[in-house]
């Protein structure tokens, strides 16, 4: 998803020179200039870049470093530049390398020499670190956390509509014990809650300001870094100038959190793919969230869950790419750090889209309670209940486990189900069985018996649903 309108990079700087060209006797090789330029992807930081520049200019004026009139002209000029960008009227130049120089060049063209004072006591090193942190904060606050909340609400809606729906719980993809569908979906609500917490935790460390650290060593100008930090919504200035310009831990943390979100989405997507198969038939995806085949007319393909599952790999790759960029960098800033943005942008964009797609898909899905219940009845999902029954009668559990194993083996050979057995048939395997065994082996009894905290018993699931809804209500 784009952060704002873009136009192809085109016209070079009017001067025909780079903003740093005074030291150089020869122009930059054209291929090198293209390789060096980042404006093709970092232009999406324009909001953050302009916000940081306005805060910096206001602070410079307050500290008596630049005239107030120049600060006012810079502020108004930056507002006009932002309006041009958002109207699609701004021409981005690869010759100006990056978003920072493009914005500053256009500002100076609009307001004259005052624009040249904006870069006082600032380097692109602390500028880009500030921009990127502001972008991370905005995307966490405006995109990722709200989309997690939306998906949690969608899961809760389905769970509440299916409080009584029973399906097999699985281990090793083998039918294990019956659980409520609501309980199963609440597991993903809990995963997403941890994901949400990780984002907010990562946000705390991202909310520190590098602005004013300049290239690496600080600046001799009498800056008020606390003023710009507060103006931009940071909690405090970063404590060490070398760390401030060279650090990208905050980007790694966000990519790591995104990778875990995608892991959880991929697990759910895998289940949706399996459940929508004819072999399971537990769900049917809405027509708007499936596709057909170009050759097989009968097909209804779960493309959206498959894409979510597939896109997980690219987010993992983004995390590894960013870690690899950082692993060998000496302090402080190195050009390698230009490679941080595309991985970070892609990870955030991808996870935001996948959260959105999954939340939209759920309300259109048909949940086949009859097929889920039939799958419970066709297996031996209450076998553990029979072992627990014997243990409650005083039979050591390991012996009870062995007894029930032989009982299940006999049922398989005879093509029988546990609820169909008579008391005499149960007693062929243990004298501890009594009249109440027939009630203990029903799916409903199995689910109702799981009353331990966090279990699938209806009362426990009702508590969990209420707690989750209360959390959501507190968020507004």
195 and 80 in a common domain? no
Q: What is the mean pLDDT of residues 341-370?
A: 98
129 and 114 in a common domain? no
Catalytic-residue membership of 162: no
Residues 15, 277, 293, 420: which is the catalytic one? 293
Lowest mean pLDDT among 27-36, 251-260, 304-313, 388-397: 27-36
346 and 298 in a common domain? yes
Domain-located, residue 12? no
CATH number for the domain harbouring residue 274: 1.20.200.10
Domain-located, residue 75? yes
213-238 pLDDT, tens digit each:
999 999 999 999 999 999 999 999 99
235 and 180 in a common domain? yes
CATH number for the domain harbouring residue 422: 1.10.40.30
381 and 343 in a common domain? no
Catalytic-residue membership of 266: no
183 and 50 in a common domain? no
Q: What is the pLDDT of residue 13?
A: 41
Q: What is the pLDDT of residue 379?
A: 82
Q: What is the pLDDT of residue 10?
A: 39
CATH number for the domain harbouring residue 74: 1.10.275.10
Domain-located, residue 59? yes
Domain-located, residue 129? yes
147 and 86 in a common domain? no
Domain-located, residue 26? no
Domain-located, residue 22? no
261 and 155 in a common domain? yes
Residue 16 has pLDDT above 90, yes or no: no
Residue 299 has pLDDT above 90, yes or no: no
300 and 156 in a common domain? yes
Domain-located, residue 164? yes
Residue 7 has pLDDT above 60, yes or no: no
Report residue 30's pLDDT band, with 50, 70 and 90 as the boundaries.
confident
The secondary structure of the chain, three-state, reads CCCCCCCCCCCCCCCCCCCCHHHCCCCCCHHHHHHHCCHHHHHHHHHHHHHHHHHHHHHHHHCCCCCHHHHHHHHHHHHHHHHHHHCCCCCCCHHHCCHHHHHHHHHHHHHHHHHHHCCCCCCHHHHHHHHHHHHHHHHHHHHHHHHHHHHHHHHHHHHHHCCCCEEEEEECCEEEEEEEHHHHHHHHHHHHHHHHHHHHHHHHHHCEECCCCCCCCCCCCCCCHHHHHHHCCCCEECCCHHHHHHCCHHHHHHHHHHHHHHHHHHHHHHHHHHHCCCCCCCEECCHHHCECCCCCCCCCECHHHHHHHHHHHHHHHHHHHHHHHHCCCCCCCCHHHHHHHHHHHHHHHHHHHHHHHHHHHHHHCEECHHHHHHHHHHCCCCHHHHHHHHHHCCCCHHHHHHHHHHHHHHHHHHCCCHHHCCHHHHHCCCCCCCCCHHHHCCHHHHHHHCCCCCCCCHHHHHHHHHHHHHHHHHHC
446 and 322 in a common domain? no
Residue 45 has pLDDT above 50, yes or no: yes
366-411 pLDDT, tens digit each:
999 999 999 999 889 999 999 999 999 999 999 999 999 999 999 9
78 and 176 in a common domain? no
Domain-located, residue 96? yes
Mean pLDDT over the full length of the chain:
94
Report residue 2's pLDDT band, with 50, 70 and 90 as the boundaries.
very low
Question: Which residue segment(s) compose the domain that 411 sits in?
Answer: 377-475
Total domains in the chain come to 3
Residues 15, 56, 119, 172: which is the catalytic one? 172
Decide which of 57, 88, 120 is a domain's last residue: 120
Q: What is the mean pLDDT of residues 433-441?
A: 93
Q: What is the pLDDT of residue 11?
A: 40
458 and 427 in a common domain? yes
Decide which of 95, 120, 145 is a domain's last residue: 120
Decide which of 99, 120, 141 is a domain's last residue: 120
């Amino acid at each position: 998803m784009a952060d704002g309108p873009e136009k192809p990079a085109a016209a070079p700087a009017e001067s025909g020179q780079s903003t740093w060209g005074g030291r150089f006797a020869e122009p930059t090789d054209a291929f090198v200039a293209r390789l060096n330029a980042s404006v093709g992807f970092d232009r999406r930081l324009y909001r953050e870049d302009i916000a940081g520049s306005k805060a910096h200019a206001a602070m410079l004026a307050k500290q008596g470093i630049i005239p107030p009139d120049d600060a006012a002209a810079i502020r108004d000029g930056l507002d006009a530049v932002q309006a041009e960008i958002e109207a699609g009227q701004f021409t981005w130049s690869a010759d100006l390398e990056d978003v920072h120089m493009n914005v500053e060049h256009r500002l100076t063209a609009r307001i004259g020499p005052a624009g040249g004072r904006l870069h006082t006591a600032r380097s692109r090193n602390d500028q880009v670190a500030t921009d990127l942190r502001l972008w991370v904060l905005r995307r966490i606050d405006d995109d990722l956390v709200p989309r997690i909340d939306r998906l949690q609400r969608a899961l809760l809606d389905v769970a509440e509509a299916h409080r009584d729906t029973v399906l097999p719980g699985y281990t090793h993809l083998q039918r294990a014990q019956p659980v409520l569908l609501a309980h199963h979906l609440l597991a993903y609500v809990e995963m997403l809650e941890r994901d949400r917490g990780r984002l907010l935790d990562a946000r705390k460390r991202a909310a520190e300001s590098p602005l004013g650290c300049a290239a690496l060593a600080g600046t001799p100008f009498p800056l008020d870094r606390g003023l710009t930090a507060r103006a931009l919504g940071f909690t405090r200035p970063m404590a060490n100038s070398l760390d401030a310009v060279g650090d990208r831990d905050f980007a790694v943390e966000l990519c790591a959190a995104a990778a875990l979100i995608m892991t959880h989405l991929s697990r759910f997507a895998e289940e949706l793919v399996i459940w929508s198969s004819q072999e399971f038939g537990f769900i049917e995806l809405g027509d708007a969230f499936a596709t057909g085949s170009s050759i097989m007319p009968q097909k209804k393909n779960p493309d959206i869950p498959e894409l979510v599952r597939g896109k997980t790999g690219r987010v993992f790759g983004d995390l590894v790419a960013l870690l690899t960029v950082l692993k060998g960098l000496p302090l402080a800033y190195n050009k390698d750090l230009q490679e941080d943005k595309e991985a970070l942008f892609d990870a955030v964009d991808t996870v935001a889209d996948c959260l959105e797609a999954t939340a939209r898909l759920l309300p259109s899905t048909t949940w086949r309670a009859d097929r889920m219940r039939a799958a419970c009845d066709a297996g031996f999902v209450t076998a553990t209940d029979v072992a627990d029954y014997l243990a409650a009668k005083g039979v050591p559990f390991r012996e009870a486990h062995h007894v029930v194993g032989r009982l299940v083996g006999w049922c398989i050979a005879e093509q029988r189900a546990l609820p169909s057995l008579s008391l005499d048939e149960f007693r062929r395997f243990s004298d501890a069985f009594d009249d109440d065994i027939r009630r203990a082996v029903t799916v409903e009894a199995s689910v109702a018996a799981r009353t331990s905290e966090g279990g699938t018993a209806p009362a426990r699931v009702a508590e969990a649903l209420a707690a989750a809804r209360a959390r959501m209500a507190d968020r507004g």
